[in-house]
Amino acid sequence: MIRVAIADYGAGNLVSIARAIEVVGAQPLVIGDAEALRGADALVVPGVGAAAPAMDRLRRRGLVEPILAWIRAGRPVLGICLGLQLLFDGSDEDGAATLGLIPGRTVRLANAPTLPHIGWNTVDWVGHQPLFEGIEPGAAFYFVHSYVAMPDDPGVVIAESEHGSRFPVAIARANLLAVQFHPERSGADGLRLLANFTAIAAAATLDAPVTALA
Amino acid sequence: MLSRRVIPCLDVASGRVVKGTRFVDLVDEGDPVELATRYAAEGADEIVYLDISAAPEGRGTLLGLVERTARTVFIPLTVGGGVRSVSEMRDVLRAGADKVSLNSAAVADPTLINRCAVRFGRQAVVVAIDAAREPAAGDSAAGDSAAGAPLRWTAYVRGGRERTELDAVAWAERAVELGAGELLITSIDRDGTGAGFDTELLRAITDRVGVPVIASGGAAGPADFVRAIREGGADAVLAASIFHRRIHAIGEVKAAMAAAGLVIRSTAGVAA
């Protein structure tokens, strides 16, 4: 059973994510410090709310460097909602500088008829995407956000949705995966996506023995 | 495309589902987690718990219930009732809620909305407004627009028992300025009556705010849900008794919405 660390930095609903990870057959480890990350095979960076307070809390818990090191080592990560946005350079929401792992910025969702964008929206992905394996094309996932990360390189975008304009909702760069919606709140399709992530992580763990990551 | 949401609301007290008419005459209607699970399977887009006991000694019961629900049901959960501070909101979110709805405490101290929005993001802050027409139902004009006077609604607090001096529409606008990410608008006049949603109240608010509005109070049948969206401009519709008592199924409501050309989320077992 693979162990999936869930970064706990003081806000949001971790109960649902931890339970969803458990339901799809992995072992959730809610981690509040760098030490606890050592025993994990994969990492989920969740989060809701604004970027600046989130970055402050990650820093206070000493989690910024370990997360950066984890991702730079190519180990499996799933960013969810704010956890996706934090991977980028910075956010227009409050001007915060974020992790800077993916070039691009988080900007306010343009031309939206209502904001925040709250509810179930259809997600469109192109071609075969392991993260969406077994999910019907055009399935709906649950969103709650007003800002959206816009990568400089459109090549990392694997799925889009529309709310006034089209915008990226899922990105992938090798084992770095992230979604703007909440799979842990998106019913059976969301659980399937999390199962796909744990399968991707399990395969990556086999490919990269721990000795290579020291 | 973003779907219009159908949201069953579970009024809870001491860990049980209860429902009354016009906020009184409470009747026990079952176990919240059992009902929430059934609704999720039937295609509910979200679940709302309103803790109507809201007694301080009941907080532990509520948090336990929220956690049991979040561990069982993988659709969004909004919890309201008795949240008076940022730390109480944090406790409810940490127990597994996705959003918290503020009502009386936000009226008493509107800065609470802003403080919660700054801490947790505005998407987690729902402001619930219980509104009644002026003059009150039973008065001679009976809130009838044909009387010529402009329609007005007043906000009530403490589960609809206490009148405030706030114009409900103005309060809705203010709440959004302060950081509400969503509004839950309940017509006290219609709640539990089956007379249909107050679409004029909804329209007055949806014309003035840019956040999603959830319509509540008065649903009798699927056509009412369609009207709340078409005529009231609501993004989501909420109901309790008609679902609890199996008068209408969520699938039936969604089928009527789809037939009316509204975008819904179709799920297994839901005719779309």
- Residue B138 to chain A, least CA–CA distance (Å): 36
pLDDT at site B30: 84
| Per-residue confidence in pLDDT tens, chain A, 214 aa | 999 999 998 767 899 999 999 999 999 999 998 998 999 999 999 988 889 989 999 999 999 999 999 999 999 999 999 999 999 999 998 899 999 999 999 999 999 999 999 999 999 998 899 999 999 998 999 999 999 999 999 999 999 999 999 999 999 999 999 999 999 999 999 999 999 999 999 999 887 655 444 4
Active-site residue A182, yes or no? Answer: yes
pLDDT at site B141: 47
Rounded to the nearest integer, the mean pLDDT of chain B is 90
Cross-strand bridge partners of residue A121 = A141, B2
Percent of chain B whose predicted confidence (pLDDT) is above 90: 74
pLDDT at site B147: 55
DSSP A59: H
Domain chopping of chain A, boundaries: 3-213
Residues of B in contact with A135 (CB under 8 A): none
Convert the pLDDT of each residue in A170-210 to its tens digit. 999 999 999 999 999 999 999 999 999 999 999 998 876 55
Please give the residue of chain A at the shortest CA–CA distance from B98: A13
In one letter, which amino acid is B186?
T
Mean pLDDT, rounded, for B70-85: 95
Task: Measure the CA–CA gap between B201 and B130, rounded to whole angstroms.
Answer: 11
Mean pLDDT, rounded, for B114-133: 94
This complex has an ipTM of 0.92
Q: In chain B, which ranges are continuous DSSP H helix?
A: 32-42, 59-72, 86-95, 104-108, 111-120, 168-178, 199-206, 222-230, 241-244, 250-259
Walk me through the domains of chain B, giving residue ranges and CATH numbers. 5-259 (3.20.20.70)
Helix B250-259 to helix B222-230 angle, to the nearest 10 degrees?
Answer: 50
pLDDT at site B57: 64
Q: Which residues contact B34 (CB under 8 A, 6 or more apart)?
A: none
Question: Under CATH, domain A3-213 is a member of which superfamily?
Answer: Class I glutamine amidotransferase (GATase) domain (3.40.50.880)
In the set A117, A145, A163, A182, the catalytic residue is A182
CB B130 within 8 A of CB B116: no
Q: Give me the total of CB pairs closer than 8 Å, taking one residue from chain A and one from chain B.
A: 111
pLDDT at site B270: 40
Residue B272 has pLDDT above 50, yes or no: no
- Helix H or strand E encompassing B99: strand B99-102
The verdict on a CB contact (< 8 Å) between A114 and B212 is yes
Of B38, B24, B25, the closest CA to residue B245 belongs to B38
The verdict on a CB contact (< 8 Å) between A117 and B124 is no
Of B171, B182, B217, B221, the closest CA to residue B198 belongs to B217
Catalytic positions of B, please? Answer: 11, 130
pLDDT at site B26: 67
The verdict on a CB contact (< 8 Å) between A49 and B120 is yes
Convert the pLDDT of each residue in B15-60 to its tens digit. 888 865 545 566 777 899 999 999 999 999 999 999 987 566 677 8
Across the interface, which of B45, B97, B119 has its CB nearest the CB of A119? B45
Give the model's confidence band at B137: pLDDT under 50 very low, under 70 low, under 90 confident, else very high: low
Task: Measure the CA–CA gap between A6 and A117, rounded to whole angstroms.
Answer: 25
Identify each DSSP E strand in chain A by its residue range.
3-7, 27-31, 42-45, 77-80, 88-91, 102-108, 117-122, 124-125, 140-145, 147-151, 157-162, 166-173, 176-179
The secondary structure of B188-254 as a DSSP string is TTTTTTTS---HHHHHHHHTT--S-EEEES---SHHHHHHHHHTT--SEEEESHHHHTTSS-HHHHH
